[in-house]
Amino acid sequence: MAVTDLFAGEIATELLKHLYAICKKCALSRTSALQLIEDISAVDPIIREIKATGVELPQERQRQLDEFSRTLSAGVELADKVLKCGRWNMYKNLQFARKMEKLEKRVSRFVQGIMPAHVMADVHHVRVDTEQRFDRLDNSFKRIEQQLGAMKIGVDEGGGGGGWLGEAVKRVEEEQRWCEDSFVNLGAGFELGKRKVKDMLMKDEENSGVFELCGIGGSGKTTLAREICKDDEIQSFFKGRVHFLTVSQSPNVENLRLQVWSMISGCTLQSSANMFPGWNPQFDWNRMPAQPRLLILDDVWKLADLKPLIDLKVPGCKILVVSRFKFPLSVIDSAHELELLREDEAMSLFCHFAFGRNCIPLGFDEKLVKEVIDECEGLPLALKVVGSSLKGQPEMFWKSAQNRLSRSLPVGESHEVQLLERMKWSIDYLPEKVRECFLDLGAFPEDKKIPLDVLINMWVELHDIPEEEAFHIVVELSNKNLLNLTKDARVGDLYSSYYDISVSQHDVLRDLAIHMSGLEDINQRRRLLMPKRERELPKEWERKADQPFNARVISVHTDEMKEMDWFQMDCPKAEVLILNFSSSEYFLPPFICSMPKLRALILINYSTSNAVLYNLSVFNDLTYLRSLWFEKISVPHLSNSTRPLIYLRKISLILCSINNSLDQSVVDLPRLFPRLSELTMDHCINFNELPTGICKMRSLKTLSVTNCDSLHELTGELGELSFLQILRIYACPNVKSLPPSIGDLVSLKYLDISQCVSLKTLPETIDGCRRLEKIDMRECPVIKSLPASVKYLESLRRVICDEEVSFHWKEVEEAVSGLCVQVAEECFTLDWLSE
């Protein structure tokens, strides 16, 4: 391979740009960045000179240059991650700083060692060969030109084929466009719409303004907005200052104002509107230099929510509002309405999801396919969902589908209601249990990621299915494009956990679930749902409260609720109660006492601070409760007089404040939760040591304490958990050691200590875990060696670790039959912060 193929100077130029930015932003990586700038600046002219010559190099020298080119490419990716990493994230910044040091050493070694040797070799060759080759120089260049022309490397400007490399690039890009959910080959109309929106935004560089992209639900507004967000021309025009924020139907405007200010200013604020200079009449934004900046506000429903977000008059800042509705010209400077797909575009999109290709297969009833496509009326989401539902089905099934689609048109209804009726067909044909699980998705707020663990717990209790079947239903719904499953390296693994994985759903599909759940009389519905956040419970509920509600799933979405805000409801069949709210205080609903069959209680707080709960006496009536999920809650002090929850199997505490609420001196956990088998504490705060009371719950089989910065020490009594099979202590950066008592965990099968950056070693007593099958210790940089006792782990079959320690595990492979050592890439994510 020629040096012109791989070793291009543009890589070094791009890396230099990133490095200059890092010097300004990232203190931990600044020293390495400065040294890299010096080294790469020295070698960059030589790179360009080599590139300009087009000369083939000897194989060994070409290999060295190719390797250095790959190092620079990896450096560009690393520098990009450094720039995107928040300043407050000390763990990741420290990790990146170490990687920058490694990159610096590699580049320096090449510049100071290998590159001078190359130069000396070149000088020697020139001196020896100049006289012999001079008279043949012209002919040599001509032959080289002819050979390169014959190879057709690159993309042909004349459009006559482009060569094998150009064609390969096109094929890869085409596959990526189809595989990803971004701008999926929606045709020339979408391209034209994208061009119009770009022209609207790039019309004047200095002036600010508010612009709108509108269209009906499911028409691809968000897809187009996200494509614009990452467009190269847009990124260049706004100098990379492009921000994307989802507003939703029932937003917390105060929190959104905080996020907008943080995006614009680069500063992080915690609360209080009076801290915003931009909304302070005394603050003069004109004193700040005008910088081109784009803020995209997606899924805006109400003018009352929009106005507080666009009042910030920052010089050079343009705002693109994405909405189903047209806002008045008094607020919007210019707007573009997204059109539905043309016939050929609709055909291409539908056929991709129905047949895996862009056209109707030979022999298939073309007229029937076109009739089905016509019923979708050019709406991308409908084409995607209906096409996925028909994939692999016989023509008789297609005919039945076409008949049902044609009958689903309600006279006089809006286009969006018609869309719901059409897509309802796709849900009706699902297997009954899968259909019921889809309808359960309407119980969660719009535009919020649904923790997969919540969903699976809910389905396990509600539909009496094992976790494995619940996960299979998630995958099936994802394959049918009825929800989006977060891609994660651990998903579906034998010992994978679900609480750090999420699913999301298009607003229209959520509307469909709510629409289908609300077709019966309110007292007879299986699901009692609030479509959006309200200040109080629906009036319709109150009017019907004189009769029992037969719902098995009840979902409430409010702000702060006090005792007087509730009214009594009789819910004898309720099995799942989901309380979505946004406040720092919350009075638990008294009607919990009328739910004798309640099996899953889910509390999710969307405010910026942990909520304090009141009316804890309701826990005395949760006799059959099996699953409890607290998110963003100050864990309450349950008194020892509280009735034991004898059926409770699983507790999940996410983003909770622990304090001393789980201390043995405060509460007798074994008495209160005598059969608890799984406890999760993720991103929890305000506890330094693992509460000893947890180690008294001998029934525990799974203990997960993850992403807990405040945790410094694991109690020595951990070994008392003799039935524990899964122990996760990952991403706890201040844990320095595991207690020796871990060797007493005779039932332990899986140990996860990944991303424990201060952990020094595995305990010598680990050989006591004779049933241990898997260890995940990726990104544990301080661990440099292993205790000799690991060779006695006879059941160990898989170890995931960093490259530095993998060599030690390779030696253990000889002693432990069947052991597989895997060097893993990073899987760290901060996606949860987007909430």
Q: Is the pLDDT of residue 647 over 60?
A: yes
Are the C-beta atoms of 334 and 328 separated by less than 8 Å? no
Position 625 confidence tier, pLDDT thresholds 50, 70, 90: very high
List, for residues 28-39, the tens digit of each pLDDT value.
565 666 666 666
Residues 248-296 have pLDDT tens digits of: 877 778 888 888 877 776 655 544 444 444 444 444 555 556 678 889 9
pLDDT of residue 799: 93
Sequential DSSP letters for 193-225: HHHHHHHHHSS-SS--EEEEEE--TTSSHHHHH
Q: 674 by DSSP, 3-state: which? A: coil
Query: What pLDDT, on the 0 to 100 scale, is given for residue 402?
Result: 79
Q: Answer yes or no: are the C-beta atoms of 596 and 622 closer than 8 Å.
A: no
d(CA 596, CA 584): 28
Tell me which amino acid residue 270 is: Q
Q: Which two tokens stand for residue 702?
A: 């799974």
Identify any residues that bridge with 78 across adjacent strands, giving them in sequence order.
none
Across the range 796-815, mean pLDDT stands at 89
Nearest C-alpha neighbor of 664 from the set 690, 702, 625, 685: 690
**591 confidence band (pLDDT: 50, 70, 90):** very high
Q: How far apart are CA 722 and CA 699, in angstroms?
A: 8
Q: Which residue has better confidence, 794 or 41?
A: 794
Tens-place pLDDT, residues 742-769: 999 999 999 999 999 999 999 999 999 9
* Residue 182 clears pLDDT 60, i.e. is over it: no
Q: 332 and 211 in contact (C-beta within 8 Å)?
A: yes
Check the CA dihedral 696-500-532-597 and report its sign: negative
Residue 459 confidence (pLDDT) above 80: yes
How far the first Cα of the chain sits from its last, in Å, is 47
Q: Taking the CB of residue 363, how many other CB atoms lie within 10 A of it? A: 7
Indicate whether 567 pLDDT > 60. Answer: yes
Question: How far is the C-alpha of 458 from the C-alpha of 712, rounded, in Å?
Answer: 33
User: How far apart are the C-alpha atoms of 785 and 812, rounded to whole Å?
Assistant: 12
Residue 811 pLDDT exceeds 50: yes
Band the pLDDT of 175: cuts 50, 70, 90.
very low
pLDDT: which is higher, 632 or 639: 632
Rounded CA-CA distance 320/197 in Å is: 9
pLDDT at 791 over 60: yes
Q: How far apart are CA 346 and CA 366, in angstroms?
A: 14
pLDDT of residue 6: 36
Lowest mean pLDDT segment, chosen from 19-33, 152-166, 333-347, 779-793? 152-166
Closest CA to 219 of 376, 387, 447, 343: 376
Whether the predicted pLDDT of 63 surpasses 50: yes
Q: Are 747 and 727 in contact (CB under 8 A)?
A: no
Sheet holding 242-248, edge to edge: 242-248, 293-300, 317-323, 209-214, 334-337
pLDDT at residue 274, rounded to an integer: 43
- Give the pLDDT band (50/70/90) at residue 16: low
Segment 391-414 mean pLDDT? 68
Long-range contacts of 664-669 (CB under 8 A, 24+ apart): 664/691, 664/692, 664/693, 664/696, 666/637, 667/637, 667/638, 667/639, 667/640, 667/693, 668/640, 668/693, 669/693, 669/694, 669/696, 669/697
Q: Which of 377, 375, 384 is nearest to 348 (CA)?
A: 384
pLDDT of residue 258: 80
Tokens of 389: 């539902």
Residue for token digits 């600010």? Answer: 208
Least confident of 94-103, 625-634, 650-659, 669-678: 94-103
Residue 436 neighbours by CB under 8 Å, 6+ apart: 463
**With b meaning 16 or more CB within 10 Å and e meaning fewer, what string describes 121-139?**
eeeeeeeeeeeeeeeeeee
Q: What are phi and psi of 362, to 5 degrees?
A: -60, 135
What span, in angstroms and rounded, lies between the C-alpha atoms of 531 and 133? 80
Q: What is the pLDDT of residue 49?
A: 55
Per mean pLDDT, which range of 103-107, 166-170, 442-446, 592-596 is the poorest? 166-170
What distance in Å separates the CA atoms of residue 192 and residue 570, rounded to the nearest whole number? 55
Provide the pLDDT confidence category of residue 789 given band limits of 50, 70 and 90: very high
CB neighbours of 175 closer than 8 A, spacing ≥ 6?
none
- Choose among 414, 419, 412: nearest CA to 377: 419
What's the pLDDT score for residue 62? 66
C-alpha dihedral over 371, 372, 377, 379, to 10 degrees? -150
Higher pLDDT, 329 or 575: 575
Q: What local confidence, expressed as pLDDT, does residue 14 receive?
A: 61
DSSP string, 758-816: T-----GGGGG-TT--EEEETT-TT-----GGGGG-TT--EEEE-HHHHHHHHHHHTTS
DSSP β-bridge partners for residue 602: 578, 629
* CA-only gyration radius of the chain, Å: 30
Instruction: Give the pLDDT confidence of 287-307 residue by residue, as tens digits.
Output: 556 678 889 998 888 888 888
Read off the pLDDT of residues 194-211 as tens digits, 9 standing for 90 and up.
Answer: 888 888 888 876 678 888
With pLDDT > 70 as the criterion, what percentage of the chain qualifies? 71
Looking at residue 449, what is its pLDDT? Answer: 84
CA distance 382 to 676: 44
Q: How much is the pLDDT for 835?
A: 44
CA distances from 680 to 18, 314, 460 (A): 39, 44, 17
Q: Residue 484 corresponds to which tokens in the numbers above?
A: 């989006």
When the pLDDT of each residue in the chain is averaged and rounded to a whole number, the result is 77
CA atoms of 715 and 708, how far apart (whole Å): 15
Mean pLDDT value across residues 792-818? 89
For residues 682 and 758, give the distance between their C-alpha atoms in angstroms, rounded to a whole number.
18
Most confident region among 326-340, 354-368, 761-775 by mean pLDDT: 761-775
- 3-class secondary structure, 106: helix
pLDDT of residue 675: 94
Output the pLDDT for position 708.
92
pLDDT > 60? residue 831: no
Helix or strand run (H / E) with residue 111:
none
Instruction: Spell out the residues 6+ positions from residue 631 whose beta carbon is closer than 8 angstroms to its own.
Output: 451, 603, 604, 605, 654, 655, 656
Which phi and psi angles does 613 have, rounded to 5°? -95, 145
For residue 50, pLDDT beyond 80: no
